[in-house]
């Protein structure tokens, strides 16, 4: 493998990892803080892509589509929390899996009713649809660089908010011990709605950025959801640092696994890695609950 | 006495007329949900339009269509087929999208006495040794579109090709077909994970290998992802893209958008065909469903019209299986492809055309004809088939 190719594949791995991180951040926080397994997280990703695609093609501006999509998915997340999912925090995981799996079916069928079964068109804004010359022998798609940049910025921002602000402290307190945090006067209810809406917005952001690269179609959230569950488990449930490290690791392992190994082994690489990491650290890389 | 006789006559005639009025039952098993869900709808829309064009009848008898969603799962498809043939008494099973589903349900359906008419899945098994008197394929054989493209590129002097398909049976068939036709050098052969979303890693390898062209078979959403990312990586300008029609047709082109422009496909039908049947079909389809039909819809439209034409020659008597088999084998009908006949293995003998993905004057992205690639093309498995005669 030549040096430019190695750099390109590394960029590909990091870019995939960044996307996975945006998705997993919400999933892992909801899991860690509310003790809720939300399989419908992938549906919010799909919703982000669909809303962005429709609004962008209606108005002609990608940015408008992106902003509307983030707002809509955040609202959808908050609505889900208030209207339905808060009733399930104290129920068993099986009940949660059942209800959120049901939500997947509702979201998919709803999207099919509104947008139809044929994949939507979602073009890139002019100027971002080509590739950028980075090095001799290394051109990289401009939009993927944007994804990389946005993902890293949002990731750092999230890290700063959670690790360095008062709100972040409440969130972390909620994640390590919900009952004690509530007893110390943290408004747990508002934190829960906020975390849910923020997680949904991040999933929507990931969806709208994936839209121009991937097919915008019914059921697009489920394959990504599986990878995100892997990330969440490896990183340690509820841990933002863990999600970041695990997402980047999975992105790189998947990319290089596909290039260097045979197809059968390449598609297994991340699951082998997951098994190995869990054997070494059963609670994930950065466990939150002691 | 006379009254009794009259009553008997009435009773008998009502039985006879009941039999003549008995509808022909068609079990339409297809994929209506999940990622392949739009393909089942495409086939069903084409079939219904074909049925409408024959007045809702096959050979003068009313047609009753029973629908089932196989969810692209072989076990579900087989259960549906069992139910349709045994309790709904379906005489014809059609509509199946995926080859693995077809493989699971064809044998039990045939054993139970139904005719299986494939409107899409082009199994190699039933084209060769396992060919069956009651199994017909109206669409194509899986390997052929790739094989024709391979032979065509070789004849045009293309030297180095890179080939990509998902790691599942039809993907392997497709690349095997391509290699059978293409005599040049294969500089890279990649099998991606089925359902893969991101192809950045593969695209980087393709760029480094510098082939003269890239042949890909990636159905549905996988193809959309791949073609968009191929264009975004700037590869389209240097390495032309070739594929079978169903990786570049109207089920995916609207979503691919400009990224697909300039790619080439091997087709037995495209929306640009100018024969009168095809022109009428495209017009009627657009009027009814407000979109351009894909080859899936065209195959399925042909399936309905072929069944009608065959049953017309035998007065609608589908119960006479030998006569129905013979009628299908020798059927003549107005096909959207211009011409059509069955080979001895009950798979089509048809022409293949090269199309280029372009924008038409309405700004829609379509497959425009660029010449003929093969005449009376037959699949390679036909010679292994010893079809029992209808006599």
B31 and B63 co-located in one domain: yes
Q: Do B204 and A266 touch (CB under 8 A)?
A: no
pLDDT (average), residues B63-78: 92
Q: What is the pLDDT of residues B325-352, one digit of tens each?
A: 999 999 999 999 999 999 999 999 999 9
Q: Does residue B77 fall inside a structural domain?
A: yes
* pLDDT for residue B7 is more than 60: no
Question: Burial letters for A110-139: b for 16+ Cβ neighbours within 10 Å, e otherwise?
Answer: ebbeebebbbbbbbbbeebbbbeeeeeebb
Give the residue among A152, A153, A171, A149 at the shortest CA–CA distance from A162.
A171
What is the band of B9 on the pLDDT scale with cuts at 50, 70, 90? low
CA proximity to A237, closest of A13, A26, A2: A26
Are A172 and A40 in contact, with CB atoms under 8 Å apart?
A: no
Contact B255 A267 (CB under 8 A): no
Which one of B192, B201, B235, B249 would you mutate to disrupt binding with A, by most A Cβ within 10 Å of its Cβ? B201
Is B384 contained in some domain?
A: no
B354 part of a folded domain: no
Task: Report chain B's mean pLDDT, rounded to a whole number.
Answer: 90
pLDDT, one tens digit per residue, over B265-288 is 999 999 999 999 999 999 999 999
Residue to substitute from A1, A119, A268, interface B, most B β-carbons within 10 A: A119
Domain match, B13 and B132 both: yes
Interface residue of A215, A219, A254 to substitute, partner B, most B CBs within 10 Å:
A215
CA separation for the pair B333, B307 (Å, rounded): 9
Residue with tokens 């909801």: A30
pLDDT of A141: 86
Partner residue facing A267 (CB), from B193, B197, B205:
B193
pLDDT at B337: 94
B247 vs A contacts (CB less than 8 Å): none
Domain boundaries, position A209: 22-112+143-219
**% of chain B exceeding 90 in pLDDT:** 73
pLDDT digits (tens, 9 = 90+) for B105-152: 999 999 999 999 999 999 889 999 999 999 999 999 988 999 999 999
The answer as to whether A118 is a domain residue is no
Burial A259-282 (b: 16+ CB within 10 A, else e): beeebeebbebbeebbeebeeeee
Over residues A89-110, the mean pLDDT reads 92
Distance (Å, rounded) from C-alpha B310 to C-alpha B113?
A: 18
- Number of domains forming the structure of chain B: 2
* Res. B304: pLDDT tops 90: yes
The CATH code of the domain that includes B58 is 3.40.50.2300
Residue A127 lies in a domain: no
Q: What's the 3-state SS for chain A?
A: CCHHHHHHHHHHHHHHHHHHHHHHHHHHHHHHHHCCCCCCHHHHHHHHHHHHHHHHHHHCCHHHHHHHHHHHHHHHHHHHHHHCHHHHCCCCHHHHHHHHHHHHHHHHHHHHHHHCCCCECCCCCCCCCCEEEEECCEEEEHHHHHHHHHHHHHHHHHHHHHHHCHHHHHHHHHHHCHHHHHHCCCCHHHHHHHHHHHHHHHHHHHHHHHCCCCCECCCCHHHHHHHHHHHHHHHCCCCHHHHHHHHHHHHHHHHHHHHHCCHHHHHHHHHHHHHHHHHHCCCCCCCCCC
Of A131, A256, A263, Cβ closest to residue B234: A131
Q: How far does the CA of residue A204 sit from the closest CA of chain B (Å)? A: 17
Q: What 3-state DSSP class applies to B291?
A: coil
Mutate to test the interface with B, among A118, A148, A209 (most CBs of B within 10 A): A118
Q: Could B201 and A258 be called an inter-chain contact, meaning their C-beta atoms sit closer than 8 Å?
A: yes
CB pairs under 8 A between A and B: 112
Same domain (yes/no): B117, B241: no
Model confidence pLDDT, tens digit, residues B176-223:
999 999 999 999 999 998 878 889 889 988 988 999 999 999 987 889
Distance of CA A204 to the CA centre of its chain: 8
Residue B369 lies in a domain: no
Q: Is the ipTM of this complex over 0.85?
A: no
B257 part of contact set with chain A, CB < 8 Å: yes
- Closest residue of A to B292, CA-based? A118
A274 in a structural domain = no
Which of A119, A143, A223 lies at the smallest CB-CB distance from B255?
A119
Domain count, chain A: 1
Same domain, B102 and B122: yes
Contact: A215, B201; criterion CB under 8 Å: no
Query: Are B136 and B179 members of one domain?
Result: no
Per-residue pLDDT reduced to its tens digit, A220-269: 888 889 899 999 999 988 888 899 999 999 999 999 988 888 777 877 88
What is the distance between the alpha carbons of residues A242 and A269, in angstroms, rounded to a whole number?
19
* Contact: A212, B35; criterion CB under 8 Å: no
The distance from CA B365 to its chain's CA centroid, rounded to whole angstroms, is: 21
Q: If pLDDT is split at 50, 70 and 90, which confidence band does B21 have?
A: low
Clarify whether residues B135 and B164 are in a common domain: no
pLDDT tens digits for range A176-231: 777 888 888 888 888 889 999 999 999 999 999 998 888 888 888 888 898 999 99
pLDDT tier for residue B10 given thresholds of 50, 70 and 90: low
In the predicted model, is pLDDT for residue A45 greater than 90?
A: yes
Angle, helices B200-209/B221-232, rounded to nearest 10 degrees: 50
Is pLDDT of A47 > 60? Answer: yes
Q: What angle do CA B303, B219, B342 make, to 5 degrees?
A: 30
A275 within a domain of the structure (yes/no): no
Closest to B48 (Cα-Cα) out of B245, B288, B272, B283: B288
Residue B181 confidence (pLDDT): 93
Say if residue B77 is in the same domain as residue B131.
yes
Tell me if A36 is assigned to some domain: yes
Mean of the pLDDT values across residues A89-117?
Answer: 90
Tell me: the pLDDT tens digits for A1-10?
A: 678 888 888 9
**B18 with B129, same domain?**
yes
Burial of A87 (0-12, 13-18, 19+ CB in 10 A): exposed
Residue in chain A closest to B365 (alpha carbons) equals A121
Of the residues A18, A138, A258, A259, the best mutation for testing chain B's interface (the one with the most B CB atoms within 10 Å of its CB) is: A258
Q: Is A16 within 8 Å of B200 when comparing Cβ atoms?
A: yes
Put simply, the chain B residues between 289 and 328 with a CB less than 8 A from any chain A CB are: 291
pLDDT at position A159, please?
84
Of A15, A123, A218, which has the smallest distance from its Cβ to B258's Cβ?
A123
Same domain, B131 and B150: no
Between B37, B207, B257, which is nearest A123 by CB? B257
Give the domain-ending residue among B267, B293, B321: B267
Considering only CB atoms, which chain A residues are within 8 Å of B204?
Answer: 5, 8-9, 12, 259
Contacts of A141 in chain B (CB under 8 A): 229, 232-234
Chain B residue closest in CA terms to A255: B201
Q: Which two tokens stand for residue B324?
A: 């129905």
Looking at the fold, whether B113 and B205 belong to one and the same domain comes out as no
Q: Which of A16, A121, A123 has the CB atom closest to B198's CB atom?
A: A16
CB contact under 8 A, A263 and B193: yes
**Min Cα separation B217/chain A (Å):** 16
Say which of B41, B202, B232 has its CB closest to residue A141. B232
Is the per-residue pLDDT at B17 higher than 70?
no
Residue A116: its chain B contacts at CB < 8 A? 38
Contact yes or no for B192 and A258 at CB 8 A: yes
Is residue A9 situated within a structural domain? no
Chain A interface includes B65 (CB < 8 A): no
CB A211, CB A34: distance < 8 Å? no
User: Are residue B215 and residue B343 in the same domain, yes or no?
Assistant: no
Closest CA to B355 of B269, B284, B279, B229: B269
- Range B18-40 average pLDDT: 80
Give the span between the Cα atoms of B144 and B150, in whole angstroms: 10
B65 occurs within a structural domain: yes
Residue B18: pLDDT over 50: no
Residue of B nearest to A142 (CA): B232
Nearest to B263 by CA among B245, B293, B231, B241: B241
Cβ neighbours of B201 in A, within 8 Å = 9, 12-13, 255-256, 258-259
User: How much is the pLDDT for A290?
Assistant: 45
Rounded-to-integer distance, Cα A22 and Cα A203, Å: 6
B324 lies in a domain?
yes
Compare CB distances from A213 to B35, B228, B254 and report the shortest one's residue. Answer: B228
Q: Is B364 on the interface with A (CB under 8 A)?
A: no
Confirm whether B375 is domain-assigned.
no
Tell me whether residues A267 and B258 touch, CB distance under 8 A: no
Whether residue A152 contacts residue A18, with contact meaning beta carbons closer than 8 Å, is answered with yes
Residue A38 lies in a domain: yes
- For residue A131, the chain B residues in CB contact (below 8 A) are 232-234
Q: Name the B residues in 161-190 with CB < 8 Å from any A CB.
A: 167, 190
At residue B22, the pLDDT reads 85
Question: Nearest to residue B69, comparing CAs of B111, B39, B107?
Answer: B39
Residue B55's domain comprises 2-140+275-349
Mean pLDDT of chain A: 88
Q: How far is CA B29 from the centre of its chain?
A: 14
Give the separation between CA A188 and CA A178, rounded to whole angstroms. 8
Per-residue model confidence (pLDDT) at position B35: 64
pLDDT at B11 over 60: no
Q: Is residue B360 part of a domain?
A: no
Task: Give me the percent of chain B exceeding a pLDDT of 70.
Answer: 94
At residue B331, the pLDDT reads 92
Give the pLDDT score at A170. Answer: 87
């Amino acid at each position: 493998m030549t040096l430019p190719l190695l750099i390109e594949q590394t960029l590909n791995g990091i870019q995939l990892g960044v996307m996975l991180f945006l998705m997993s951040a919400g999933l892992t926080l909801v899991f860690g803080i509310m003790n809720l397994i939300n399989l419908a997280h992938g549906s919010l990703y799909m919703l982000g892509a669909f809303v962005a695609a429709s609004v962008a093609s209606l108005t002609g501006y990608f940015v408008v589509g992106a902003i509307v999509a983030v707002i809509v998915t955040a609202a959808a997340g908050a609505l889900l929390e208030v209207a339905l999912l808060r009733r399930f925090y104290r129920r068993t995981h099986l009940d949660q899996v059942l209800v959120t799996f049901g939500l997947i079916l509702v979201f998919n069928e709803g999207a099919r009713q509104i947008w139809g079964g044929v994949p939507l068109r979602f073009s890139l804004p002019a100027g971002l649809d080509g590739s950028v010359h980075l090095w001799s022998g290394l051109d990289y798609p401009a939009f993927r660089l944007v994804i990389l940049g946005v993902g890293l910025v949002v990731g750092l921002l999230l890290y700063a908010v959670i690790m360095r602000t008062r709100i972040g402290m409440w969130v972390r307190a909620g994640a390590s011990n919900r009952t004690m945090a509530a007893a110390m006067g943290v408004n747990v209810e508002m934190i829960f709605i906020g975390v849910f809406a923020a997680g949904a917005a991040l999933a929507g952001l990931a969806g709208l950025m994936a839209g121009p690269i991937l097919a915008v179609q019914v059921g697009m959230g489920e394959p990504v959801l599986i990878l995100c569950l892997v990330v969440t488990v490896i990183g340690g449930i509820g841990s933002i640092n863990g999600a970041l490290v695990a997402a980047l690791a999975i992105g790189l392992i998947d990319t290089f696994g596909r290039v260097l190994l045979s197809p059968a082994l390449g598609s297994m690489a991340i699951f082998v890695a997951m098994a190995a990491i869990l054997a070494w650290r059963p609670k994930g890389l950065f466990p939150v609950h002691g | 006495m006379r009254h009794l006789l009259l009553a008997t006559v009435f009773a008998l005639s009502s039985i006879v007329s009941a039999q003549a009025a008995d509808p022909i039952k068609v079990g339409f098993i297809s994929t209506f949900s999940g990622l392949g869900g739009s393909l089942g709808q495409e086939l069903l829309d084409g079939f219904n339009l074909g049925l409408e064009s024959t007045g809702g009848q096959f050979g003068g008898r009313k047609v009753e269509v029973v629908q089932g969603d196989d969810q692209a799962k072989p076990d579900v498809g087989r259960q549906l087929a069992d139910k349709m043939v045994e309790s709904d008494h379906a005489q014809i099973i059609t509509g199946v999208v995926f080859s693995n589903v077809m493989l699971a349900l064809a044998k039990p359906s045939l054993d139970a006495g139904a005719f299986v008419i494939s409107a899409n899945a082009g199994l190699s098994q039933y084209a060769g040794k396992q060919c069956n008197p009651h199994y017909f394929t109206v669409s194509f054989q899986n390997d052929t579109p790739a094989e024709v493209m391979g032979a065509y590129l070789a004849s045009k002097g293309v030297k180095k090709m890179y080939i990509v398909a998902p790691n599942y049976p039809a993907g392997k068939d497709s690349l095997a077909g391509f290699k059978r036709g293409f005599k040049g050098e294969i500089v890279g052969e990649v099998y991606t994970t089925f359902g893969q979303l991101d192809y950045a890693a593969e695209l980087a390898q393709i760029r480094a290998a510098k082939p003269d062209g890239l042949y890909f078979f990636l159905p549905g959403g996988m193809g959309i992802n791949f073609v968009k990312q191929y264009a975004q990586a700037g590869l389209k300008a240097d390495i032309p893209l070739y594929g079978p029609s169903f990786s570049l047709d109207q089920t995916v082109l609207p979503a691919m958008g400009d990224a697909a422009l300039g790619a080439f496909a091997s087709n037995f039908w495209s929306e640009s065909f100018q024969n009168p049947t095809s022109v009428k079909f495209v017009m009627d389809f657009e009027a009814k469903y407000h979109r351009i039909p894909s080859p899936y819809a065209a195959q399925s439209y042909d399936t309905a019209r072929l069944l009608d034409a065959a049953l017309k020659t035998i007065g609608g008597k589908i119960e006479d299986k030998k006569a129905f088999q013979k009628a299908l084998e020798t059927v003549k009908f107005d096909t959207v492809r211009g011409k059509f006949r069955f080979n001895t293995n009950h798979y089509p003998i048809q022409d293949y055309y090269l199309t280029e993905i372009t924008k038409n004057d309405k700004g829609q992205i379509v497959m425009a004809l660029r010449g003929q690639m093969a005449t009376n093309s037959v699949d390679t498995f036909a010679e292994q088939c010893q079809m029992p005669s209808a006599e």
